[in-house]
Amino acid sequence: MSNLVLIGAQWGDEGKGRIVDVIADKVDVVTRYQGGSNAGHTIVIDGETIILHHIPSGMLREGKLSIIGNGVVVDPGVLLDEIERLRSAGYVVFDGNLKLSDRAHVVMPYHKDIDLAREESLGNIKIGTTGRGIGPVYEDKVARRGIRVSELIDKESLEKRLRSVLEEKNLYLTKVLDREPIDFERVYGEYTQYGEELKPYVTDTSMLLNDLISAGKRILFEGAQGVLLDVDFGTYPYVTSSSAGAGGACTGTGVSPTKIDHVFGVVKSYTTRVGGGPFPSEVSGELGLKLREYGAEYGSTTGRPRRCGWFDSVAVRYSAKLNGISGLALTKLDILTGFEKIKICVGYEYNDEILTNFPSSVEVLTNCSPVYEELGGWEDELSNLAKYSDLPPQARAFLDKIEETTGVPIFVISLGASREQVIFLKELFS
C-alpha cells in the first residue's frame, strides 16, 4: 500500500495539477477531496493547455480512475462543460473512468449570487473570492440546508429541497443583499437536466475508494487551493471555505488516516497569492512585475493578475509541520533565471522581534516585515536541462537553502510546463 496526498503548501497555484499529472503515472486512482470550481489546475500536454476545475488531473493519464469525493462542492454546469472540453480535446471520459460522490454538495445559482453580492458590499476589505459560490455552498453544508448530488439526480427530492431552501434564499437575496430573486422553475428545469446528465457518474465513492484500497490499488489525493488558504490554518478570514490541508483528504473522501502513507507538498520557487489578505514576502514595484511577467502569473480561473513575492520558508515550514509533508515538489525554477539576486524569507520582524513561526494573527502578518537571506542568481536557461548536475551552482544552492530552511527534502523540480520538463531528485516512495 502506498497512498499519498499531494497538497499546495502556499496560497494556491503552486502547480498541483502539473505535479499530479507527472506522478499519476505511478498510481491507479486520483481523487479530489475539497474545493470546487474555484480551483484551476493547469496542465500542458503537447503544447495544448488544459484547465481542470473539478476533475482530478489524473484524467489526462490513460487508464486511471478519477474520483470527485464527497468533500468537493460541484457546480454541475461547469463540470459538464469540463467533460465536454476534455472530450473535444480527444480524451475519453465516461462513467467507467470518472466517478462523482453522491454525497458531494451542489453549487446552486444563489450561492454564486450571494458570493458576488457580499464581496461587492465589503469594498476594499473584500476577500477577493473567485465568485464561484464556494463560501455560501459550504455554509449551507454545515448549516444542513445544502443540496447534495444524490438529490440533484432525483427529481422529486430536488423539487422538495429546492422549494424549501429557495424561499429563505430569496428573502435573503432581496431583503438583505438587494438582489433579484431566483425563479424556482428556471433553476429546477436547469438542474434536473444536469442531474440526468451526471447520473451515470454518481456512486458512493467512499465505498468504492475503500474497496480499491483493499484490492491493493494506489490512490493519489489531489488537494486544491493551499494550506495558507485552509479554513482552519490559513490566513483567516482571507481563506477559502474548506480544509485544503492533508486532513481534508480523509473527511473529503471517507478514507481513514490509517490508509494514508505519504503527504507531499507542492511549492512554487517564489510565492504568489490571488485575492486579498496578508502576504509578508510580497514584492512590489518593478521586481514584482518582473516575477509576474516571467512566470505568467494570471489566475487560471478568474484571469486576475497574481500578487508575487519571494519564497517564504516560514510559511512553507509551517505548512509542512501541520501536514506532515515529507517531500516537496518545487515548480517554476526556470522562471528565476535572469534575476541578479534571489531572496528567501526566513523570518518575520514584528515589534523588534524576529518571528520564525507563522503567526495566526492577520494583524501581525499584515504588519510584519520579511527577513531575507540573499542568494546569487543565474543567467542560464534551465528549461531544457535533464539532470540535477546540469543545474548551475547558484540554482543548486537555492534548492539546498530551501531544504535547509523548510526542513523538507525536495523530491522533484519542474523546469517548464510540459511533461518532460521535470527532474526527479529522489524516488517518490522511498
The span of 33-41, 70-78, 345-353, 374-382 binding Mg ion (CB under 5 A) equals 33-41
Single out the residue of 56, 69, 135, 254 in contact with ligand IMO (rule: CB under 6 A).
135
Q: How far is the CB of 130 from ligand IMO (least distance, A)?
A: 3
First to last CA, the chain: 13
Residue with nearest beta carbon to Mg ion: 40
Closest CA to 324 of 6, 76, 20, 10: 6
C-beta of 115: minimal distance to Mg ion in Å? 17
Please tell me whether residue 15 binds ligand IMO under the rule CB under 6 A: no
How far apart, in Å, are the Cα atoms of 263 and each of 84, 245, 257, 317, 401?
Answer: 32, 10, 11, 14, 21
CA–CA separation, 430 and 188 (whole Å): 51
Count of chain residues binding Mg ion (CB under 5 A): 3
Binder of ligand IMO out of 247, 252, 275, 370 (CB under 6 A): 275
Nearer to ligand IMO, 41 or 343 (CB): 41
**Measured between alpha carbons, how far is residue 262 from residues 69, 86, 90, 146 in Å?**
19, 30, 33, 32
**Quick one: which segment of 38-46, 176-184, 261-269, 396-404 binds ligand IMO (CB under 6 A)?**
38-46
C-alpha 172/C-alpha 351 separation (Å) is 43
CB of 142 to ligand IMO, least distance (A): 14
| Rounded Cα–Cα distance for residues 345 and 363 (Å) | 19
User: Among 34, 38, 331, 406, which residue interacts with ligand IMO (rule: CB under 6 A)?
Assistant: 38
What grid cell was written down for 325? Answer: 509533508
Number of residues that bind ligand IMO (CB under 6 A): 22
Q: How far apart are CA 194 and CA 147, in angstroms?
A: 13
Site for Mg ion in 38-77 (CB under 5 A): 40
Position among 5, 7, 9, 13 found at the interface with Mg ion (CB under 5 A): 13
Of 127 and 173, which CB lies nearer to ligand IMO in the complex structure? 127
Nearer to ligand IMO, 13 or 334 (CB): 13
Cell of 361: 494573527
Q: In which element (H, E) is residue 170 found?
A: helix 155-171
The least distance separating ligand IMO from the CB of residue 134, rounded to whole angstroms, comes to 4
- 13 in catalytic set: yes
By CB under 5 A, residue 82 contacts Mg ion: no
Residue type for 405, please?
A: T
List the beta strands (DSSP E) in 80-187: 98-101, 105-106
Q: Closest by alpha carbon to 413, among 219, 402, 59, 404? A: 402
Residue type, 371: V
Partner touching 128 among Mg ion, ligand IMO, none, CB below 5 to 8 Å by kind: ligand IMO
Q: Pick from 383, 428, 326: which is nearest to 24 by CA? A: 428
Whether the bond between 181 and the residue before it is cis, its omega within 30 degrees of 0, is no
Is there binding between residue 40 and ligand IMO (CB under 6 A)? Answer: yes
Note whether 58 binds ligand IMO by CB under 6 A. no
Task: Measure the CA–CA gap between 53 and 74, rounded to whole angstroms.
Answer: 10
List the catalytic residue out of 21, 41, 53, 230.
41
41 catalytic per annotation: yes
Question: Contact between 83 and ligand IMO (CB under 6 A)?
Answer: no
Does 130 participate in binding ligand IMO (rule CB under 6 A)?
yes
Nearer Cβ to ligand IMO, position 274 or 342? 274
* 208-267 residues near ligand IMO, rule: CB under 6 A: 224-226, 229, 240-241
d(CA 396, CA 390) in angstroms, rounded, equals 10
- Determine contact, residues 3/261, Cβ cutoff 8 Å: yes
Residue 271 touching ligand IMO (CB under 6 A):
no
Residues classed as catalytic = 13, 41
Where do contacts with ligand IMO occur on this chain (CB under 6 A)?
8, 12-13, 38-41, 127-130, 132, 134-135, 224-226, 229, 240-241, 274-275
Where do contacts with Mg ion occur on this chain (CB under 5 A)?
13, 40, 300
